[in-house]
Amino acid sequence: MAGLGDSLNELMTIDGAQAVALVDYESGMLLGEAGGGMDMEVAAAGNTEVIRAKMKTAGALKLNDTIEDILISLGRAYHIMRPVAAKPGLFFYVVLDRNKSNLALARRKVLDVESQLSI
């Protein structure tokens, strides 16, 4: 098991990682962050809306499934949002340089870190 700081630091070891955070999507509050290059409080609040919308839509569609992650592909970056299964209401937010990262390996690393999170 890993604490919040250790988990965020581990996510920053992903090739191309620029910024990472743990966010409470019920309040939009940033619980912790590492890296830089963007205002993570603004990113946390905005991506909270993305997570909430997808959760609401999945419920309305009665998908009877869980969201593993949400990926936003930009021209120069990947943004990964992964709800923490063991801690409902929380999600990891990871920003990767698209030219320096391997998306499949990054998603796997976020899964591994999520499974070890202890807060």
- The CATH number linked to 80 is 3.30.450.30
CB neighbours of residue 18 within 10 Å: 20
pLDDT band at 1 (very low <50, low <70, confident <90, very high): confident
For the entire predicted model, the pTM comes to 0.95
| pLDDT 10s digits, 57-68 | 999 999 999 999
Q: How far apart are CA 21 and CA 91, in angstroms?
A: 8
Provide the domain limits for residue 39.
4-116
Could you tell me if 8 and 17 are in contact, meaning their C-beta atoms sit under 8 angstroms apart? no
pLDDT at 69 over 90: yes
| pLDDT 10s digits, 13-56 | 999 999 999 999 999 999 999 999 999 999 999 999 999 999 99
Pairing of strands 29-35, 17-24: antiparallel
| pLDDT 10s digits, 90-119 | 999 999 999 999 999 999 999 999 999 998
Total domain count, the chain: 1
Check residue 65 and give its pLDDT.
93
Residues 6+ apart with CB under 8 A from 10: 2, 109, 113
